[in-house]
A and B are shown apart, each in its own frame.
Chain A
Amino acid sequence: MASENQHSVLKVTNLSIGYSHKKKDTVVAQNLSFELNKGELIGMVGANGIGKSTLLRTLTGMQKPLAGTISILGKKLEEYHPLELASLLSVVFTEAPASKNLSVLEFVSLGRQPYTNWMGTLTPNDKEKIDWALEITDTQKLSQRKCFELSDGQLQRVAIARALAQDTPIIILDEPTTHLDLYHRAYVLKLLKKLTKETEKIILFSTHEIDLAIQLSDKIGVLTTDAFYFDQPCKLIEEGKFNALFPEDIILFDAKTGRFTIKD
């Protein structure tokens, strides 16, 4: 193992994802293999319903894989105790917190749960981590606001702050740019980029913002109906993989500009 890539943290081998229902398996995607290294920002792109969410749910342990393995730091995902896993992997879901009555500070500090005692008492170290998370996402000023008072852009930043407070080497975000305007989409993705560089965290996000993902991600996973491609964005462009994303009747990928254009 040591002879392999030393920066590898998360490794996926021959993964099949999908749903198992009454002994019948519905395969959404299969033969996925990739490796995530320290400090990488990874985008997952794919058409609606192609299985991005299923993949993310499987990677976070919310859903069992149909076949293949996911391992973090050499240990299989399912062998981790829930609490142990919570200190390695944090998730930002698309949904807002169920209780909108939570204050931003309360929301973010819940990220410390895997580390606190049975009463949830915060130590000075916990508070330091929370302050840092609020600061780096520029949300300190919001800390006393209630979640229902926030705009979508603010809420997304706060959700990221919560994941940062959880202090994990891996963060997985499910479509962090939905509901946001162009400025905030770029803001959120740039923030993620900055975090990977400054903290060496692995940040994986699914998105529909293909052009933004190409500009910022270190690697991109492209989920299509037939195959899964995983590489650096420039290589994927060279090989013309992005055209496999959608049916080619309306839009085409322009390799020069790195974005989709309407077909004449």
Chain B
Amino acid sequence: METQKSYKKVFLLLFVLLIAFFLVNISLGSVAIPLKDIFASFFGGDVSKSSWEYIITQYRVPKAITAILVGSGLGAAGLFMQTLFRNPLAGPFVLGLSSGASLGVAFLILGAGAFGGFLSNALVSEWSLVLASAFGSFLVLLAVLAVTFRVKDTMAILIIGLMFGSVTSAVVAVLSYFTNAEKLQQYVFWSFGSLGNQSWNGVLILTICVLVGLFIAFFSVKSLNALLLGENYAKSLGVQLKRTTLLIIFSTSILAGAITAFAGPIAFIGLAVPHITRQWVTTSNHRVLLPAVLLLGAIVMLICDSIAQIPFSEYTLPINAITSLVGAPVVIWLLVRKKKLLF
């Protein structure tokens, strides 16, 4: 696909913004830490207070990296789904992927609780959480795809996504009836969504998952561009539709599943970030669009997380609430101002 404009400046700006917001995100929190000390703790210099160094390296940096991974991953997942379903309203949350992931996690946490004792502790490890949630989102995506083969209607697909959301909450309600309060609390806190409290080990697992998901998608960039023309055109251009679709679904499930496992169901990032990106980067070429979405997704998530921290206070808001507060108005604004959402 030919793209005449050069987007070097946009990428440079996005990159600078990413670094800036990364540093801002780390310096803000219940205690404000000056930039000087942040750099000192990065490069092994003298930090004014030893507790600061601990806060930065063990809490804030893992959290900021998680934010970057979550924002980039969900943004990319949203972009892929909008192209795959050729639907501007598609996104991991809207289509019920996050619900599917939640269901997987609910079965794991609450179901394991029902089995009781020894088994439950063994089951709920970081990896099993990732697997359960990726599997849940994979199943939902397959179901949605099966529906799109039969119904070509945009609305129907979105309604199916909503239905999965309802089914999830119903199943969770049933499961919670049979579990103890402790497990239920664990699930409820997970479902609020949180970027913090990640161990370095957890961050590593999340990084691997996101990289694997993006790696698969990276090889589908050309086919994704062809899909912009519609299925028939893509086929006539020699694209192997089934293989491409499966690869993209696989990539999206890993991204959305792993992220949901670690950070809880996070709304609107997947839907809104690709649209915000398209306001700046006016091409539809995924070779340009995907990196821009990755950068912008990371920036938006860092901002949301900084707000959720409520700087200089001890309160932390659920990240899911902030992304909804930021994301929903953006989507409404795009619909009202631009009259239409394009993908």
Q: Which A residues form the contact surface with B (CB < 8 A)? A: 60, 62, 81-87, 89-91, 93, 95, 97-103, 105-107, 109-111, 113-114, 116, 118-120, 122, 127, 130, 144, 148, 166
Contacts and interface: CB of A to CB of B under 8 A. Distances in A.
A1 B267 CA distance: 64
B51 interface: no
A120 B238 contact: no
A109 B2 contact: yes
A-B residue pairs, 3 tightest by C-beta: A86-B238, A98-B230, A83-B238
Contact of A97 (B229, B282, B285): B229
B259 interface: no
A130 to B, nearest CB: 6
A19 to B, nearest CB: 16
Given A82-B238, A82-B240, A118-B219, A99 B283 contact: no
Contact of B278 (A101, A103, A118): A101
Given A98-B86, A99-B86, A114 B2 contact: no
A100 B236 CA distance: 19
Contacts of A81: 238
Contacts of A110: 1, 225-226, 228-229, 233, 237
A46 to B, nearest CB: 21
Given A98-B229, A99-B86, A106-B2, 5 more contacts: A62-B236, A85-B238, A86-B238, A89-B236, A102-B228
A166 B234 CA distance: 12
18 contacts: A82-B240, A89-B236, A90-B236, A93-B236, A97-B228, A97-B233, A98-B86, A99-B86, A99-B229, A109-B2, A110-B228, A111-B237, A113-B225, A113-B237, A113-B238, A119-B222, A120-B221, A120-B222
Contacts of A127: 2
A81 B240 CA distance: 10
A135 B13 CA distance: 36
Contacts of B229: 97-99, 102, 107, 110
B228 A113 contact: no
A153 to B, nearest CB: 19
A62 B342 CA distance: 28
Main secondary structure of the interface of B (DSSP, over half): loop
B3 to A, nearest CB: 7
Given A85-B238, A90-B236, A113-B238, A99 B4 contact: no
B228 A82 contact: no
Contacts of B226: 110, 113
A101 B342 CA distance: 6
B343 interface: yes
Contacts of B219: 118
A113 to B, nearest CB: 5
B237 A99 contact: no
Interface string B212-230: 0000000101100111111
A105 B4 contact: yes
B183 interface: no
A144 B4 contact: yes
Contacts of B330: none
A105 B342 contact: no
Nearest to A83: B238
A82 B238 CA distance: 4
A92 to B, nearest CB: 9
Nearest to B86: A98
Interface string B221-259: 110011111111101111110000000000000000000
Contacts of A119: 221-222, 287
Contact of A120 (B1, B227, B283, B342): B1
A101 B230 contact: no
A88 B58 CA distance: 60
